[in-house]
Structure 1
């Protein structure tokens, strides 16, 4: 009997090992999901922080730190980014160019030369435009604003130079900073650990010489000193509620589909006074002027949806081979002007976009050759700033599409599938609420009194002009020129040659002429 249990006993360690491995994989997966973010329209979008050591100093090094925004349509607007980390040892910052720390920290132990920052966890901000030239660095001094890669790749990077002390000058003493954070200025980005990568190459201004980030030549092995940190964005971490919603309308239906109620929150002035402001309130000006300008919490106009931004999609006109759409973006936020705003819209007919007015356009193809996603943004110095809530708080444009093979107005096909504003997904109305086509085409409703008055007026004019008499049959027929009427036994409908409009043959009616 002992031999019968021997295979089972031997299989127990294998089962335990497999179970342990499975638990480890699941734990890693859950950690990845909790800290990382995936955007199906921009799967490789991220902000990369590159740390390049340029030279060594007696107690440390001089490094160039650059932020690259590799996100297609998500940018960082004013008041800008804040970059932080934790030193691995007791490093200090002797000097900075192109940026500064928000807090100097405790530097009391330094008596002669005072460092720029002695904080264990420094926070760096960009310098403002207009900074003196001796304090500037390449790609600095934009107030922390980072454009998206598609919208403005030239301004999608920011840099500063930092002189680090008490860091050592060998690979055994230099340590990578840890716990990187990127705020904009609120949460939303999650940064991974710093990784050693291939040294960055620098090209001289005359483009005749190439240098790379320094390594410790005193050590027998070649050790690179370029570090990369990758930060990804998650809308769920950025804010608890959405920031925009979508409303719909069309020329073929009188119904206007508004944003869903409580899309971005519900009115709660009874329990939380000051959550919104009525547009017709006599105290509107005082409330807005007295609001905290340094608060990034939106102060919105009281609406059913309570969203700072509303995007309205209106199917405007239908032509024989084309159809037209009007897009209106409205700002309901009294605290913020949205500079360098952008929209990302998904619709299957963007492959047939013919013309766009007062917006910039760039096709985004996240699914290979399928062109169903477009990025739209304002024209520089014209409508690139979406002003705060008020008469000027909106931007509009029209899009002209050519009708493709799949074109139809039925079942909400003419409306977008998904809309993003500044990279945040907007709340769409439910599909069953979309404007629908009428059941039996278009009918022009004209009252009977209008028809009678029109006919009598026509008869009076004709009698005054030619003296003819027209009888009043059961089926009304108007003969514009009786002398040129062509007798026929068939219904003539519209005859452009004879100028006759009717439903029956003129033989059925008595005509009198001069």
Structure 2
């Protein structure tokens, strides 16, 4: 049996327990006071280095704060591949004595970040969420695109500061490391100089000040941002404004000399619960008046008849009206409308380079006053076989002025105007809509379009190899559909003693292809034949093509069966071609006249001649007779990875023979006439 504990020792143990308990209570009380949000909290906040930098900043103060993160599934042993959910905030504070217009802030993310939600701003490039921003991203203010100055607002932070709430996923950076961006800076408006940001633990900040050496353009007489230049622009003009609705006019302008749109589809995102009540000059693909009865808008507008409502979707799809509705008093009768979604380059027809439609938009609380006007965000536009556009967010510009409809000299400004600027982006690999094949007189094989040049479906790759280079072909194989070329490709490989892969390479997947064939090479000049093949059940109306050459562009002489012209800046070294009158339509693929034969693509071709006098150093044998870029209806076509090589039976350059070029051109014209007589 254990000996009893002496009384003195028991008193000592009890006293120590009481002291320990008091220590815990005191510590908790101190912690309670520290988190109480009282004056001490504010004093500690003022001691932070970013607060001191903010107080001394006379410009625009930017700040990025990493808040927290948590490990996501799957949980991996490889730390660099482990995903983490993170939260962060960014802020833009105007500390100047003047307003900050259309602010844009760049955050240089560097840990493969994927943004899932963003509050207080939008992505400038219009990307949908979730968005991969591993290379950095630019935020634009929404709904606060402009920040007022402190003097005119009595220091109201809600008017001079914008805060961005960021939630997303990032990879790598083991704890206790803090995954911070490379940099932060102000990208708009121009004329600000941002130093390298300062980083303190999980906070990064910088004070951007006006650059005294910056020479601004001619001062804008208004308080709005100047309109931007772009390949394609949208104008969003509010013509009439009521407390709960407004009338808007949308104008689409194509400014690029080598781009167009066919059967355009326009979409955007309503951010504040708006819906389209009526439209003229265009229509939505889904007219869901009855379905709107179950929308949040119907819960507010209880006495409104939703039967005639056009659309309540958050992301409506808008298309152009056909020409026969142009004078329709109910849905048409809007200038520049109703061209079936066709927008041509202004160099072809200025009257067909603009589209316009009007719509009545109903608003939702809390925007129920005449001045609460917000344009939709996330604008996107696409066409049949057309360029890919990247559109920015709407920027507030000076109100558009419209001439008096009665013919008087006066003009009427819009209630408010915004501009959306879109620029053409080069198609990603295997994402083109057309492709090019190369051939030449000095090699009897054709270099076909690349494998999966326009993409490969998952079903197709199960029976073919999407990563194998396309097989060289005999010239006649270009005239038949790809699915019928296998036998010819195998036979050609057997003749040439080439190994035939198994499985075979996949198709190019393109609905339109172009063959560029170097016909000849003489001391006086050289010539090519360009043939366009349409493999789709679709007619290309008023088609055009553009070819960018290298240094030998200066030798360009003539295009014989197309209308061909030289282009100026910024498309130097480029030849623009379109169909001559009567041949402006590229017909679709048709069935053969004889049953059992291959389908026949729609095609047009022309000879293009070049003079060596103006380009004496061109070496055709080394492949300098092939273009650097090829466009069709504004879409950049995928070029082959290789060019035809000179074979042992290469022809020697002969005496000047422009007559042979003329004969070749005449043969092309004869073929075109014969094809037209068959129709």
TM-score interval for Structure 1 and Structure 2 normalised by the shorter chain: 0.5 to 0.7
SS of 2:261's partner is coil
User: C-alpha separation between the residues in 2 aligned to 1:277 and 1:317?
Assistant: 27
Counterpart selection for 2:574 from 373, 392, 406: 373
Residue 442 of structure 1 deviates from its aligned partner by: 7.0
- 1:419-439 per-position Cα deviation (integer Å, ceiling 9, x unaligned): 223333333334464446867
Displacement after TM superposition at 1:195 (Å): 1.2
Aligned position for 1:384: 585
Q: Secondary structure, in 3 states, of the residue corresponding to 1:406?
A: coil
Q: Please give the alpha-carbon distance, in whole angstroms, between the structure 1 residues aligned to 2:514 and 2:237.
A: 42
Indicate the RMSD between aligned Cα atoms, in angstroms: 4.3
Unaligned runs of 5+ in 2: 1-48, 54-60, 66-104, 110-132, 141-227, 467-480, 487-504, 591-598, 655-679
In 1, Cα distance between the equivalents of 2:321 and 2:287?
A: 14
2:372 paired residue number = 173
1:157 maps to 2:366 = no
Asked if structure 2 preserves the Cα contact closer than 8 Å seen for 1:68 and 1:157, the reply is: yes
Judged with a 3 Å threshold, the aligned counterparts in structure 2 of structure 1 residues 322 and 46 are, in CA distance, closer, same or farther, namely: same
Q: How far, CA to CA, are the matches of 1:277 and 1:255 in structure 2?
A: 16
Per the alignment, residue 619 of structure 2 pairs with 408
Partner of 2:237: 52
2:417 aligns with one of 220, 226, 231: 226
The corresponding residue for 1:309 is: 512
**In the alignment, does 2:321 pair up with 1:127?**
yes
What is the CA–CA distance in structure 2 between the aligned matches of 1:430 and 1:185, rounded to whole Å?
A: 26
Aligned in 2, Cα 1:92/1:18: closer, same or farther, shift over 3 Å? closer
Residue 341 of structure 1 pairs with residue 543 of structure 2: yes
Q: Single out whichever of 249-258 and 93-102 deviates more from structure 2.
A: 249-258
Instruction: Give the distance between the partners of 1:261 and 1:89, measured in 2 at CA.
Output: 45
> Quick one: distance in 1 between partners of 2:600 and 2:411?
54
State the Cα distance separating 1:252 from its structure 2 match. Answer: 4.0
3-state SS, counterpart of residue 349 of structure 1:
helix
Structure with larger Rg: 1
Do the aligned partners of 2:541 and 2:584 also contact (CA within 8 Å) in 1? no
The aligned counterpart of 1:456 is none
Equivalent positions of 1:485-504 (< 5 A) are: none
- 2:535 aligned residue (322, 332, 335): 332
User: Would you say 1:418 and 2:629 are equivalent positions?
Assistant: yes
Cα offset, 1:191, TM superposition: 2.8
Q: Deviations over 1:272-305 (max 9, x none)?
A: 79x9874499xxxxxxxxxxxxxxxxxxxx9854
Q: Is the 8 A contact 1:340 1:378 kept in 2?
A: yes
Give how far 1:140 is off.
0.9
Distance change in 2, residues 1:153/1:378 (3 Å):
same
Q: CA deviation at 1:397?
A: 0.9
The CA distance in 2 between the partners of 1:166 and 1:189, in whole Å, is: 29
Show the 5 A alignment for 1:59-458. 59-77=244-262, 80-101=263-284, 102-105=286-289, 106-108=291-293, 109=298, 111=303, 113-114=305-306, 115-117=308-310, 119-121=312-314, 122-131=316-325, 132-134=327-329, 135-136=331-332, 137-166=334-363, 172-184=371-383, 188-204=388-404, 209-215=409-415, 225-236=416-427, 240-264=430-454, 271=462, 278-279=483-484, 305-319=508-522, 321-333=524-536, 335-347=537-549, 348-367=551-570, 371-388=572-589, 390-403=599-612, 404=614, 405-431=616-642, 433-435=644-646, 441=652
Deviation at 1:193, TM superposition (A): 1.7
Q: Deviations over 1:66-110 (max 9, x none)?
A: 111223322221xx2222333343434332211122233544345
> Structure 1, residues 291-325: CA drift from partner, whole Å, max 9, x if none?
xxxxxxxxxxx985443222111222445533322
Assess if the C-alpha contact under 8 Å between 1:324 and 1:399 holds in 2.
Answer: yes
1:499 equivalent in structure 2: none
3-state secondary structure, aligned to 2:436: strand
Alpha carbons of structure 1 residues 360 and 203: separation in structure 2 relative to 1, 3 Å: farther
SS at match of 1:209: coil
Structure-1 separation of matches of 2:407 and 2:521: 55
Once residues 570 and 265 of structure 2 are traced to their aligned partners in structure 1, the CA distance between those partners, rounded to angstroms, is 33
TM-score by length of 2: 0.49
Task: For residue 211 of structure 1, report the CA deviation from its aligned partner.
Answer: 1.5
The aligned length equals 389
Identify which of 108, 119, 126 aligns with 1:26.
108
Structure with the larger RCO, 1 or 2 (CA within 8 Å, 6+ apart)? 1
Distance 1:205 1:66 in 2: 18
Distance 2:414 2:643 in 1: 62
1: CA distance, partners of 2:303 / 2:384:
34
Question: Which runs of no fewer than 5 residues in structure 1 stay unpaired?
Answer: 1-9, 36-42, 216-224, 282-301, 444-514
Q: Confirm or deny: 8 A CA contact 1:147 1:155 kept in the other structure.
A: yes
Q: How far 1:342 moved relative to its partner?
A: 2.6
Structure 1, residues 122-146: CA drift from partner, whole Å, max 9, x if none? 3322112211521311111122222
Contact residue 412 and residue 436 of structure 1 kept, 8 A: no
Is this contact kept in 2: 1:93–1:162, CA < 8 A? yes
Moved more, 136-145 or 91-100: 91-100
Of stretches 198-207 and 67-76 in structure 1, the one that deviates more from structure 2 is: 198-207
Give the drift of 1:440.
8.6
Q: 1:338 to 1:437 in 2, by over 3 A?
A: farther
